[in-house]
Chain A
Amino acid sequence: GENVEQHPSTLSVQEGDSAVIKCTYSDSASNYFPWYKQELGKGPQLIIDIRSNVGEKKDQRIAVTLNKTAKHFSLHITETQPEDSAVYFCAAIINTNAGKSTFGDGTTLTVKP
């Protein structure tokens, strides 16, 4: 089955700096890679996703890049704000396993004002 590794487990940045979180996956059949933000007491919320026919996707301050050859993808947050502080999860989905996501272990991002 799929295995997803996520780094770092904790990340602390100053407000206004950029934050980068990286994930690697094991199964080359994976072709959908969402990123979720989870705030305390809430369920994960999708913030951006990328499908394997695309190398990069951007949505305002958030961007995701995908390197299929190396089997890794990254989340980039620019101009970080204190409200970006949360736990971020990456996930990988194999086409044949509809409805089943394999998650990384999460990154706790702290943005210091």
Chain B
Amino acid sequence: KAGVTQTPRYLIKTRGQQVTLSCSPISGHRSVSWYQQTPGQGLQFLFEYFSETQRNKGNFPGRFSGRQFSNSRSEMNVSTLELGDSALYLCASSRQGALSIQETQYFGPGTRLLVL
């Protein structure tokens, strides 16, 4: 069974640009969560999508947005990039997002974004 895949793996952008990252969950998984990982802030939750709807949202500005398609693939977009947006962006998938009951969340390898 294929794992979570993320594209691209590496990306270099300049301040003010926008970027779109893609995540394909494990087949059959409908919940996709996005996290930002930086040395200073650790792993921080961005948002979760389930059945094409945003179900949870973290404390990030509106420049960070996402969407989910009918095949459960998800994209996140960051507009007006800032230097501080440089980070590893991870997505994770699970069947229903019912982690506390019986499910497990699986992470992709991440997209490393560098903003110059």
- A residues contacting B by CB (< 8 A) are 30-32, 34, 36, 41-46, 49, 51, 89, 93-95, 97-106
CA separation between A89 and B101, bound complex, in Å?
Answer: 20
CA separation between A34 and B107, bound complex, in Å?
Answer: 13
The secondary structure that dominates the B interface is strand
A98 touches B99 (CB 8 A): yes
Closest to B109 in A: A43
A94 touches B100 (CB 8 A): yes
> In the complex, what residues of A have CB within 8 A of residue B56's CB?
97-100
Contact code string B8-36 (vs A, CB < 8 Å = 1, else 0): 00000000000000000000000111010
For the complex, is B72 an interface residue (Cβ under 8 Å from A)?
Answer: no
Given contacts A41-B109, A98-B56, 14 further A-B contacts (CB under 8 A): A30-B100, A42-B109, A43-B90, A94-B100, A97-B56, A98-B48, A98-B50, A99-B32, A99-B55, A100-B58, A101-B92, A103-B42, A103-B43, A105-B42
A101 touches B42 (CB 8 A): no
> In the complex, what residues of A have CB within 8 A of residue B108's CB?
43
Closest to B3 in A: A43
The count of residues in chain B whose C-beta lies closer than 8 Å to any C-beta of chain A is 30
> In the complex, what residues of B have CB within 8 A of residue A89's CB?
43
Q: Which 9 A-B pairs have the closest CB atoms?
A: A99-B97, A99-B48, A98-B97, A43-B107, A103-B43, A32-B100, A95-B100, A99-B31, A100-B56
